[in-house]
């Protein structure tokens, strides 16, 4: 399976991931049940992932990473000092999960959201270009992956 995961570059960018020890980092702070379920039920170690910069001047695909772990409890949900703290989540019944991701490479250029939308008819039912879709994690079919990589 393939995925697209969004991050605001001022919070965590593709360059930040590349700079991490071993290029690997926990993808924490997910607080949407559908996105959590994708990590829990769909992601497998080795899955390919587009790194997407959102909420910036030119949102788009900026890199490729891979899933480096199975899903496990996000420790930020238990940390009262974290902006991701969830008082309703308990260690014996964690509500939120994360996976580790590993840097693979930067894309040759930013594949912008504007450009992706221009190719929407070739991407089938791609969640990123659907109106109202604000998910931070979404599946990408092999055909969509190949088409998007071809835009590099």
Question: For 36-86, what is each residue's pLDDT tens digit?
Answer: 999 999 999 999 999 999 999 999 999 999 999 999 999 999 999 999 999
pTM: 0.95
Residue 130: pLDDT band by 50, 70, 90 thresholds? confident
Number of domains in the chain: 1
Rounded Cα–Cα distance for residues 9 and 12 (Å): 5
Contacts of 18 (CB under 8 A, 6+ apart): 63, 103, 106
Residues 6 or more apart whose CB falls under 8 angstroms from that of 85 comprise 76, 77, 78, 79
H or E element at residue 114: helix 113-118
Q: What is the CATH number of the domain that holds 94?
A: 3.10.590.10
Worst-scoring range by mean pLDDT, 3-17, 55-69, 124-138?
Answer: 124-138
Where residue 97 falls among pLDDT bands split at 50, 70, 90?
A: very high
Write out the residue range of the structural domain in which residue 47 sits. Answer: 2-150
């Amino acid at each position: 399976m393939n995925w697209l995961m969004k991050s605001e570059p001022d919070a965590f960018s593709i360059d930040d991931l590349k700079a991490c020890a071993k290029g690997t980092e926990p993808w924490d702070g997910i607080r949407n049940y559908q996105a959590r379920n994708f990590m829990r039920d769909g992601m497998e170690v080795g899955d390919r992932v587009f790194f997407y910069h959102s909420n910036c001047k030119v949102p788009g695909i900026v890199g490729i990473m891979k899933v480096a772990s199975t899903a496990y409890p996000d420790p930020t949900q238990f940390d009262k000092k974290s902006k991701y703290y969830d008082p309703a989540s308990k260690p014996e019944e964690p509500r939120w999960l994360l996976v580790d991701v590993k840097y693979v490479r930067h894309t040759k250029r930013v594949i912008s959201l504007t450009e992706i939308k221009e190719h929407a008819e070739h991407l089938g039912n791609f969640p990123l270009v659907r109106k109202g879709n604000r998910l931070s994690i979404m599946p990408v079919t092999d055909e969509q992956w190949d088409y998007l990589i071809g835009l590099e």
